[in-house]
Amino acid sequence: MAAIEILGLEKTYMVGFWRKRPKRALQPLHLTVEEGEIFGFLGPNGAGKTTTLKMLMGLVFPTAGTARILGHDWTDPEVKAQIGFLPEQPYFYDYLTAHELLDYYGQLSGVPGKDRKRRIEEVLQRVGLTDIKGVQLRKFSKGMLQRAGIAQAILHNPKLVFFDEPMSGLDPLGRREVRDLMEQLKQEGKTVFFSTHILSDAEALCDRVAIIHQGELRGVGAVADLTATVQGKVEVVWQGTQVPASMKALGAECHVTGDTVRAVIPEGQQDAAIDVLRRERIRLIALTPLRTSLEAYFVEKLQHSQSAAEKTLGTAV
């Protein structure tokens, strides 16, 4: 069963003083997220990621389209007991402590009283918020608030979790912990849908990604498929700082870093490159075909949509 089915959701805001000028925030979006996968929703700032998430949460009403979440109509409030949501740059009732906040959210999500206390301690431990008993949220740092936000999203043991920019405000260690947490959630059979513009996070975590730009879906698929394209080049890494002249003759672009050399050579020259290294008695460390990175794919999609938009504008002019 699909965890999320988005069927043509679109959003147009009316802007201007008289609210008569339409501004399309999201073109009709069709997207399916399968149960148990980590799905990355990628796009630059202002692409329409948050608008999509807000529509799925019922915070913003779509101009057209519909969606199904966990097999239910998305407008059914009861389905929300099975989903968790972390908004972008979350802000909570700052007069509460983290325990009180989670207790309140647990009540609203229908977590029974006897389980609530145990769940609160569990999730706080899980997101690394310890020794914060009695501390009001107004005294929390940005990173701590983000952790509290993640805790409230998973407090009621939801089947589906939406994270809007979950790594925002976290230090490298915190980001690593959140990545681990998301992988754990997947192992527990939960579906994770998260939006980000940090591509390394998406590449490391996601089973599938969708790329959205200027409110329009530009590409969707498994990360491995999107990055499978071989660029026709091979990367050779060897130990030492020596760059043989015959290697340069093969057309290699060499970079010395520390005590290793990284060279990129045209595909088909790898046998010759290995021969050179053998001849010079240099130790080979790695030989790998160069694949398109998610970042390269992302940039290509964005540039493509940018040039298409410019062409349309040019035709109109």
Which residues lie near another protein (CB under 8 A)?
54, 57-61, 77-81, 83, 85, 87, 89-93, 95-96, 104-105, 107-110, 149, 152, 162
Nearer to another protein, 76 or 253 (CB): 76
What is the length of the chain?
317
Distance CA 269, CA 266 (A): 6
- Judged by DSSP in three states, 93 sits in coil
Q: How far is the CB of 139 from another protein (least distance, A)?
A: 13
Nearer to another protein, 190 or 218 (CB): 190
Nearer to another protein, 85 or 140 (CB): 85
Q: Any idea what the Cα angle at residue 293 is, between residues 235 and 146, rounded to 5°? A: 130
Distance CA 105, CA 164 (A): 18
Q: How far is the CB of 99 from another protein (least distance, A)?
A: 13
Q: How far is the CB of 226 from another protein (least distance, A)?
A: 30
Q: Any idea what the Cα angle at residue 142 is, between residues 141 and 145, rounded to 5°? A: 85
Q: How far is the CB of 92 from another protein (least distance, A)?
A: 6
Q: How far is the CB of 144 from another protein (least distance, A)?
A: 16
Report the chain's terminal Cα–Cα distance, integer Å: 47
Q: Any idea what the Cα angle at residue 85 is, between residues 83 and 88, rounded to 5°? A: 165
Nearer to another protein, 102 or 205 (CB): 102
Q: Which of 157, 163, 147 is nearest to 53 (CA)?
A: 163
Q: How far is the CB of 68 from another protein (least distance, A)?
A: 17
Q: How far is the CB of 157 from another protein (least distance, A)?
A: 13
Nearer to another protein, 108 or 286 (CB): 108
User: In this structure, what token pair is assigned to residue 248?
Assistant: 């340069």
Distance CA 22, CA 8 (A): 18
Nearer to another protein, 95 or 239 (CB): 95
Nearer to another protein, 113 or 314 (CB): 113
Q: Any idea what the Cα angle at residue 213 is, between residues 208 and 216, rounded to 5°? A: 85
Distance CA 60, CA 164 (A): 15
